[in-house]
Amino acid sequence: AGKTMMLQNIAQSITANHPEVYLIVLLIDERPEEVTEMSRSVRGEVVSSTFDEPATRHVQVADMVIEKAKRLVEHKRDVVILLDSITRLARAYNTVAPASGKVLTGGVDASALQRPKRYFRLGTQYWREGGSLT
């Protein structure tokens, strides 16, 4: 509950101090109660996949959020994505990714980490005449 409260406080601070920002809270492999609580307490878009859904759905939801954020930035919007949790997202990618044959410590396939890394890379890309993505 402490992590959820912290994420809610961050989201509320962003919308209060920067109302022009398009906020997306992405909850992956989350409990339905947490999704409901976040939706009620945040003035941004809450996109989620719950723990009872398959890994393919977690990946689909995450990919959809990335693409939506890119389109918003192309239309000169400033976008912030708050992700909970990148660990659960990496596990989902590990489940659905084809095996590369190189397994890292903890049983994670090396190729599975490439897609979650996109979230970090997106924030560093130069968006020509567009908005920003954080």
Q: pLDDT value at position 89?
A: 86
Q: Where are the domains of the chain?
A: 2-122
Q: Residue 106 region, left (φ>0) first, then alpha (ψ -120 to 50), else beta?
A: left
Q: pLDDT value at position 37?
A: 92
Helix (H) or strand (E) holding 62: helix 55-74
Q: pLDDT value at position 109?
A: 62
Residue 21 vs residues 12, 24, 41, 70: alpha-carbon distances, Å: 12, 10, 17, 14
What gap in Å lies between CA 107 and CA 65, rounded to an integer? 27
What gap in Å lies between CA 51 and CA 49, rounded to an integer? 7
What gap in Å lies between CA 20 and CA 89, rounded to an integer? 28
Helix (H) or strand (E) holding 10: helix 2-17
Q: pLDDT value at position 131?
A: 83
Cα dihedral 23→26→30→33 (10° resolution): 20
Q: Per-block average pLDDT, block size 10, for the chain (134 residues)?
A: 86 95 95 92 94 94 93 91 86 75 63 70 69 85
Q: pLDDT value at position 117?
A: 72
CATH superfamily assigned to domain 2-122: P-loop containing nucleotide triphosphate hydrolases (3.40.50.300)
